[in-house]
Structure 1
Amino acid sequence: WRIDLTKYSFITNIEEKLNAIDAFKAAHPNQQPDCPKKERAYKN
């Protein structure tokens, strides 16, 4: 989306806290088996 969220620190703070949670990171779309290969966070 490439939207500058620097004016919205409450959003970036929430994102930072959520990204520290393993279950949240594992649920990211680029971690899913049906994610297109070019977008995957892992190589399969």
Structure 2
Amino acid sequence: MLTGWASVAAGWSFVGLQGVTVLIHFFAELTPFPFGNWKRGNPFSRF
């Protein structure tokens, strides 16, 4: 049961991380500086 909860927590943290990334990229589209430069220089960008 403990491993089940751990996998659930890991899954939610991954979803949360993806959501934050989406929000950052969304604001990067609206903000030319400094997030626009960060977005272009981000090697982990998938968007």
Is the shorter-chain TM-score for this pair beyond 0.5, marking a shared fold?
A: no
Shorter-normalised TM-score: what interval? 0.3 to 0.5
Query: TM-score with structure 2 length normalisation?
Result: 0.37
Which of the pair has more CA radius of gyration?
2
- Structure number with the bigger relative contact order (C-alpha 8 A, sep ≥ 6) is 2
| Higher helix content, 1 or 2 | 2
